[in-house]
Every structure is written in structure tokens, then in C-alpha cells.
Amino acid sequence: MQTKNIGFLLTDIIRLMRREYSKSDLGMTPMQARALVYVSHSEGIRQVALADMLDIQPITLARLIDQLAADRLVERRPDPKDRRAYGLYLTDAARPLLDKIDKEVDRVRKIALQNLTDEQANRMLEALQLMHSNLSHSSSL
């Protein structure tokens, strides 16, 4: 594989995976699903921290959270340590949806990896994790 094209290939893979996710009946965007999953792993997280994790602008996340709150999937609660801040929490209605999201992620993963051996898939994942780490901690070359 020509490494010069890796960015284009990764972008295209993401586009194709998103297209496959859009076939699901979750009734939410992939970004909304990601936000729910992140909140489930870090209940009480502040919006600014979640926006950073999702790599989106805080105002964009605010609209996304407004929709999830209107759908009664997430609620904002005052932070007991800082009255100006609010933490994000899943509602009971969101919990069954997380199972559906997990099943959908697994379905798309199986499609994407269907012709790879376990060893190939594991090596690819290790390489992608290393690339992620390199870029996350980059001070530029």
C-alpha cells in the first residue's frame, strides 16, 4: 500500500462506515450515538470536555446535547463542586439504546473486517492505535 494515500483511504473508510451505520434504525446520527457512548463511559462529564473528546466545537455539542435531552436520553445536572457547571448523565431511557448501538457497531465492524484474518485485524488495529497516539501527542516534525 502506498502510505502517501493513507489519509484519503482512512477518510473513505470512515465515509463508508458512516453510510453503513446510517442503514440502522437507531433514529440518531452517528455523532449522537458517539456522544451517548462517551457519556456512558464518563457520567458527569462536562460539555466542554465532551466536545474536546468528540473534536467538535462546544456550540455544536450544545445543540447535539439539546436534542438528546429533548429525546430524554441525556440530562444535565448541576455540578456539586461548581454551581456554574453542569455534568451530563444518561437517563434510564438511554440504556437500552446503548445495547442497540453496540450491536450496530459490531455489525459494521464485521462487514468491514469480513475478509481479514484475526491476525491481520489485530495488526491493523495496533497500527491505527499507534497512529492515533502519534497524532494525539504530535508536536509536529
Domains, the chain, with CATH or none: 17-136 (1.10.10.10)
Q: Are 113 and 121 in contact (CB under 8 A)?
A: yes
Q: What is the pLDDT of residue 83?
A: 82
Per residue of the chain (141 residues), give pLDDT as tens: 456 789 999 999 999 998 998 888 888 888 999 999 999 999 999 999 999 999 999 999 999 999 999 999 999 999 888 888 899 999 999 999 999 999 999 999 999 999 999 999 999 999 999 998 998 887 765
What is the spatial distance between Cα 104 and Cα 29, in angstroms, rounded to a whole number? Answer: 12
The answer to whether the beta carbons of residues 54 and 35 sit under 8 Å apart is yes
Q: Are the CB atoms for 86 and 66 separated by under 8 Å?
A: no
C-alpha to C-alpha distance for 125 and 113, rounded to whole angstroms: 11
C-alpha–C-alpha distance, residues 88 and 47, integer Å: 7
